[in-house]
Chains A and B, each alone.
Chain A
């Protein structure tokens, strides 16, 4: 079969299998089997079993369930309340006032959790009722939450960066550290926009509340300190080369349990729920990774990625053109697929082409996550939209409309990252240990 024909058949099979509602990991495996059977005469089943075993049996990947578990424990603790009470007093003086609690709260929770849905739910659970009660415009309150909830994907620990690192054999520690500055940059873009919006729409902001004395602010923030220390310890020890991501994550689980015990939220029930929740989420992601690993091997047999890479290099696109085309492609894909599926499909098929264009794979990981963040707030499939729909009862298209400015800011962030690759690459260069 000609390679173009094969690519078409496999692409269509993937599309049909996904659209019919076959589970993503199984759809990836089905296409992989088909590809190998058509293109070669190697024993498919043996390749499948050895690939899945070889790929998942990895020390680096054990960071995945540990970080998920840590987030699950903190999600069930008092963190949501503490976050609002601790941040709100500081934000009253800024233009945009308590709206910034959404953004900063999400940024902080993103640093203990790798999931954007959990980040959105944890912060929104407390901040949306509070903001509504105080008379903030719901459109901007929901928009800021939807936008900043996506930071959960980028700011380490990031589940999606672990998936990318495992699928492309890049150092997860370096990917984590590379995500720090772009995450802070996005948070600042979001805060700047919110402040500017508040200045221009004074009529939509509620009346100012009295400023709280400094000593009282400190007292209110006291309960947030342990979490901040936890973040510094986890990210700091990875940066300093003191701990591998897995070790930092296990210590994170331990500290999260202690914090949850101290705040009185650690019961037999919350412990079991968090553990089983982490087991299932980790299983779901690892199984997709297994399917993707098998698909990557199958794609290697079909030679499609290599052909694609040489086809692109013949076209002599500049890297900028290539990235612009990929961004558009991912945004469309992101309307229908979740972030992890986008990342694994990309790494099986598109990565050779990207590397052929001379793009740094660590940088590309960060770029990919930024684009995937956009997919979290694009209808009809956007996980942050689902979470917020659940919390507010407003349908996802409405929520997506409120989040539109933040979609725009993510595009701005992506352009900045392309123009100044150092935003992602500078910090990993300075890491004490380069493993």
Chain B
């Protein structure tokens, strides 16, 4: 049975052993680790972004020097990992753990941040009884390690601490890996360098992971709650999006849109507290059962009759919806030289394939005097979606 969590206490005249002093440090550290581990989600907390600076070798071959900036992350054991200064990725470290496939230069190799506790060198300034050659500090260091393509998968399956009461891991065996990004390796064996770096692997769809929160409730005390994809002052390629729930006298609303630099939300979707929904764009999705969907326009002989937006052609083919059509010849496009008269030959849509058959017979000054030509048609399509078996059910 695991011992209960205990904190050190002291009494007057106590001879203070080193273990008690250590416990005064470990108690809040372990408590903080449990908080980080169970109240929050592991990942990058701040910084740790990177830059790939273009460079070229003596032979003129291009590569990139990748530098990770200072920052902080928390691993899955609750350990805080601090990178105090910018650090350059070392190609030698990469080659010590990865055998890159130079035939596939577009592979993305993940690189991770791991925490590592190491005893600091003993101080040489201590004398007498204090000069025991024992370290008096533990340095909370870090390492950047590399993986083969695909090792970014299943990072949530990493083994954390053994017991719920444990403090953070020291990183000496199987350290928890926090994904920082991906690098590409040169296909030229004479250039043993990185050629590119990214924060998202398009092959696996996995990118950097940031800290989160485990919470069943999020409560604001100011009458407004905002979720933002980045801080308002962030400068990136993508627009910052935000969702704001805002109280108002006798009203209130939920607003979604781009976040303005001043922190306000540019609304594109608003749901008011009385249920009114306002969208500045188009609303699409599954078709509502019991509804009628309409499409119209101009189509031509030989193509399929266009369906209303949102109607699945498979539902039409399967007879799950009822299709009403009306077609009439659009004579504007029938214009052979010397046209005297044009009459419809056929103008219909095949009931099983929806293919349009629209042709006219035209009489011209000729020769030839009579032609049968494909033509355009005005069409109207109404699709009735049954209330019980529609595609939107």
Are A and B a genuine interacting pair, yes or no?
no
Interface residues of A (CB under 8 A from B): none
Using a CB–CB distance below 8 Å, which chain B residues touch chain A? none
